Amino acid sequence: MPKRKRHYSENPARRIKVGTAIIPVIIGLGVVFLMLFREFNPQAFLQISFTWRSFFWILVAALLMAGRDMGYTFRLMTLSEGKFKFWKAFRVIMLWEFTSAITPSAVGGTSVAVVYVNKEGLTVGRSSAVVMITSFLDELYFVVMFPILVLLTGPHELFTLASSPAGGMAKDLIIFSIVGYSLKLVWVLGLSYGLFINPRGLKWLIMMIFKLPLLRRWKQGANKAGSDIITSSEEFKKKPFSFWAKAVASSFLSWSSRFLVINALLLAFFDVNHHLLIFTRQLVMWIIMLVSPTPGGSGFAEFVFTRYLSDFIPVGAESLTSIAVGMAMLWRLISYYPYLFIGAIVFPRWVRKKFGREKGHRSREIATTK
C-alpha cells in the first residue's frame, strides 16, 4: 500500500499548483512597474492614438496567437495518428502551455507533457515518443530558420542596437546567439542520429557523459531520456513522408505565427518597416529568454523586449522607454497571460477528472484486497 501511494504522489502533474500562476503575474508586473518608475513620462502616451487601425492589428495579433495554438494542435493530432481529435489535442496544448507559463523557461512543461498525453489515452511509451518528437520539431524550426534569416537580414543589422555604444553591435547578443544556436544544433543533430540511425548508441553515449562526477546526480533522468529516444525511434522511424510533412508544416505554422505577433502589434500604432528584421530579432529574443530563471520568462521577457525591439518604435528618446514598456506589456497580455487564465480554469478540472478517478479506483482496489 505505501508503495502505491508514493507512486501516485510522485506524478509530476500533481506537484503543479494553480496558485503558482500568480507568481509570474507579480514578477512581470513588478518589472514593468520598476522600468516605468525609473523613466516614466506620462506625456509619452499622448503620442499614441487608438484607432480602427489599432483595433484591426491587435485583432490580427490575437488571430496569430490562435494560429500558433492551431499549429500545435494539428501537430499533436498528426503525431497521435488520429487518436487525438481536435478538442482533446487542444486541451492537452492548453495544459502544456499553462505548465510552461508557470515554470522557468529553461525547464518548461515537457516533463509533465508526457503525463498529459498519457492520461488522454496514449501509452506511456507512445506519449514519451510524441513529446520527444515535438521537442525535435521545435528545435528544427530554429536550426533551419535562424541562419536563413541572418543571411537575409545581415548580421550587422540584426545585432546593431541604437542603445549600444556609438550604435555598435551588441556583443552580448551575438554571444548568446552563437552559444544558443550551437546548443540547439547539437541537440537536433544528436536527436536525428538517435531517432533515425542508432538510438541505442546515443543512449550509451548519454549514459557515458552522465557518469562524469559533475553530472552524475542527473544520471537517472539521462537514463530515462535515452529510453525515450529508443521508444521514439521505434515509433516514428518508419513513418511515411506525408506524416513528417504535416508535422513539420504545423510546427512552422505555429512558430511563425508566434513571431509575427509583435509585427502586428507594432503596426497597430506605428508606421513600421523592416518586418523581416523584427521577425528575426524575435528568434534571438527567444533564445535569450530560454535562460530566464523566472516562470515563463516573466519580467525578463519584458526587459528583453524594451532593449531589443525599441529600435522600431518611431518616437523621441524622451518617450521611448515608457512606450516600449507599454508595448511589451501589451505583447505579454496577448501572448502569455491568456494561458495562465485558461490553465487556471482547465487544469484543476482535468486533475480531478483524471486523478480523482484513478484515486477512487485505487481505493476500491485496496478495499477489495483487504
pLDDT of residue 35: 60
Q: Which residues contact 361 (CB under 8 A, 6 or more apart)?
A: none
Q: Which residues contact 320 (CB under 8 A, 6 or more apart)?
A: 44, 310, 313
Separate counts of helices (H) and strands (E) for the chain: 15, 0
* DSSP symbols for 238-258: T--HHHHHHHHHHHHHHHHHH
C-alpha cell at 197: 540511425
Q: Which of the residue ranges 67-71, 101-105, 138-142, 300-304 would you say has the lowest mean pLDDT?
A: 101-105
- If one compares 340 and 206, the residue with the highest pLDDT of the two is 340
C-alpha cell at 189: 543533430
Name the band, by pLDDT with cuts 50, 70 and 90, for residue 363. Answer: very low
pLDDT of residue 2: 44
- Torsions phi, psi of 104, nearest 5? -55, 145
Q: Which residues contact 96 (CB under 8 A, 6 or more apart)?
A: 72, 109, 112, 113, 116
Rg, Å, the chain Cα set: 22
Residue-wise pLDDT tens digits, 45-103: 667 788 899 999 999 999 999 999 999 999 999 999 888 999 999 999 999 888 887 77
Task: Please give the single-letter amino acid code of residue 99.
Answer: T
pLDDT of residue 249: 95
- If one compares 165 and 257, the residue with the highest pLDDT of the two is 257
Q: Is the pLDDT of residue 213 over 70?
A: yes
- If one compares 15 and 323, the residue with the highest pLDDT of the two is 323
pLDDT of residue 274: 87
Give me the mean pLDDT over the 276-302 stretch: 77
Nearest to 271 by CA among 24, 5, 28, 51: 51
Q: 317-335 and 241-267 are packed helices; what angle lies between their axes, rounded to 10 degrees?
A: 140
Specify the DSSP class assigned to residue 104: B
- If one compares 16 and 285, the residue with the highest pLDDT of the two is 285
- If one compares 138 and 231, the residue with the highest pLDDT of the two is 138
C-alpha cell at 31: 518589472
- Torsions phi, psi of 295, nearest 5? -60, 125
C-alpha cell at 306: 524594451
Q: Which residues contact 325 (CB under 8 A, 6 or more apart)?
A: 32, 35, 36, 302, 306
Give me the mean pLDDT over the 258-270 stretch: 93
Classify residue 32 as exposed, middle or buried by CB count within 10 Å of its CB (0-12, 13-18, 19+).
buried
Out of 41-45, 78-82, 249-253, 360-364, the most confident range is: 249-253
Residue-wise pLDDT tens digits, 169-198: 677 778 888 888 888 898 899 888 887 888
pLDDT of residue 252: 95
Task: Judge whether 139 and 184 are in contact, CB under 8 Å.
Answer: yes
- Indicate the average pLDDT of the chain: 78
C-alpha cell at 199: 538510438
Name the band, by pLDDT with cuts 50, 70 and 90, for residue 299. Answer: low
The answer, as to whether pTM is greater than 0.85, is no
Q: Is 172 helix (H, G, I), strand (E, B) or coil?
A: helix
